[in-house]
Structure 1
Amino acid sequence: MKIDLLHEFYKFAHRRIPLYGILILLGLMLYTIGTSYKISPYLLTQGFGAGQWAIIIIIALSVDMISMEYRDHTMATLMYKTSNKSALYTAKFIVLVIYSILLLACGVLFSFIIKGILVGSRYYWLENYHGHSLINALLLNVGGTLIYLLFIVAFSLVLILLIKNNATVIMIGLAIGFLGADLSSLAMVAFPSLKAILAWNPLNMINIISQLSNNDMQKITYLTNSQLIIANLIYAALFFGIGLSIFKKRAI
């Protein structure tokens, strides 16, 4: 496992994609500001959209992490060097999770820099926002995004192993990121008698990136913070297990 992990880190670190991901995140955060009516406390707590954009970037990287090996015919070499497919798949998952942490940390750093340049002292990080200071709300939302990324990384790996088409998987990821929460809410409104069950659907999980700092979101998700966290972790474990099973059985 250690050798597989070091090998995956080495490959990932020596590609340009990780750097591009960070630069793209910065560009998309600036795009969010440009398309917003004004910079508000809400926008600050969301890190200028850093969490939402990080999700999209990680989906694309997760897809490429697997498809690249098959596309470049390097998967056979990897299988030859390791006798444990489980360790190889787990190593790829861990690398993606650690990069997710790095990406979100960059998002927080960029948020401080952008706020300092564009807003200055108009809003103080210690100002109250839904019972939290702005800085605590930002960190809570980043923490929620990280938990959701465990789920979305595992889910993306399953999709690329099943569908084997990068563009299709990324489109599905975009749909989940931009429409998932609305579709989940629509389903619970349409079937109110089933909302206690529908609240646990996968599309509802993305709301964790906002709910931890805003308890009013519970009126939309119908789940408490702890329930939403547990559900995301359960889905992450479930999809990780499914992806691992598919990976072990897939022909090279």
Structure 2
Amino acid sequence: MKTNLLREFYKFTHRRIPLYGLLVLLGLMLYTIGTSYKVTPSLITQGFGAGQWTIIIIMAISSDMIAMEWRDHTMTTLLYKTSNKSILYLAKFIVLVVYSFILLVFGIIFSFIIKFLMVGSKYSWQDNFNGHSLINALFLNMGGTMLYLLFIISLSLMLVLLIKSNATVIMIGLAIGFFGTDLSSLAISAFSGLKSILAWNPLNMINIITQLSNREMASITYLTNSELIIANLVYAIIFFWIGILIFKKRAILGRE
């Protein structure tokens, strides 16, 4: 496990993608400010869109991580050196989780800098926001995003193995990021008699990035904070194990 993990970290850190991801995140956060009417406490607690943009960035990187290996014919070498295919898959998953955490940390740092430059002390980090201080709400939202990233990474890896097209997976990620909440709410509203069941649909899971700091979101998701946390983790585990099964089968068949 250690050897596979070190190899994956070495490959990942020696690519330009980690740096590009940070620069893209900063650019998209600035874009969020540019398209917003004004800086508000809500925008600050959302890290100027850092959570949403991190999800999309990670989905793009996750889908490319395995697709690139097959495309460049390096996966065969990796599989030859690895006796346990599940360990190789797990190593890739861990690298993506660690990078997700790094992106969120930088998202928080960028948020502090942007707030200081844009509004100075107009909004104190101790100001109340839905029963939390602004700074606590920011950390809760980023924490919720980290939980959702476990869901999205496992989903991305599974989808790219199923579809074998990282471009398609990225499009699916964009659709989930921008329309997932609306589609989930629409389905629950259309079949209100089944809302206790439909509330557990995968598209509803993205709401965890805002619900932990805003208890009123529970009236939209129809799930408590603890239920939303558990559901995200369960989905992540399910997608992860399906991904491993597909990966092992594909490795055995040697398909590209």
TM-score under structure 2 length normalisation: 0.98
Q: Residue type of the partner of 2:26?
A: L
How well do the aligned residues superpose, as a CA RMSD in angstroms? 0.4
**Residue 4 of structure 1: aligned partner:** 4
What is the CA deviation profile of residues 147-179 of structure 1, one whole-angstrom value per residue up to 9, with x for unaligned ones?
000000000001100101111110011001100
What is the CA deviation profile of residues 110-145 of structure 1, one whole-angstrom value per residue up to 9, with x for unaligned ones?
000000111100000000000000000000000000
**Residue 231 of structure 1: aligned partner:** 231
Q: Residue type of the partner of 1:189?
A: S
**Residue 216 of structure 1: aligned partner:** 216
What is the CA deviation profile of residues 34-85 of structure 1, one whole-angstrom value per residue up to 9, with x for unaligned ones?
0000000000000000000000000000011100100000000001111110
Residue 27, structure 1, aligned to residue 24, structure 2? no
Query: What pairs with 1:67-106 in structure 2 (closer than 5 Å)?
Result: 67-106=67-106
**Residue 142 of structure 1: aligned partner:** 142
Q: Secondary structure at the match of 2:124?
A: coil
Shift in Å at residue 94 of structure 1? 0.3
Q: C-alpha distance in 2, partners of 1:10/1:64?
A: 16
Query: What pairs with 1:113-152 in structure 2 (closer than 5 Å)?
Result: 113-152=113-152
Residue 50, structure 1, aligned to residue 65, structure 2? no
Q: Secondary structure at the match of 2:126?
A: coil
Residue 177, structure 1, aligned to residue 185, structure 2? no
Q: C-alpha distance in 1, partners of 2:239/2:159?
A: 10
Q: Aligned pairs, how many?
A: 252
TM-score under structure 1 length normalisation: 0.99
Q: C-alpha distance in 1, partners of 2:76/2:190?
A: 49
**Residue 199 of structure 1: aligned partner:** 199
Q: C-alpha distance in 1, partners of 2:166/2:78?
A: 21
Q: Residue type of the partner of 1:42?
A: S
Structure 1 unaligned spans of 5+ = none
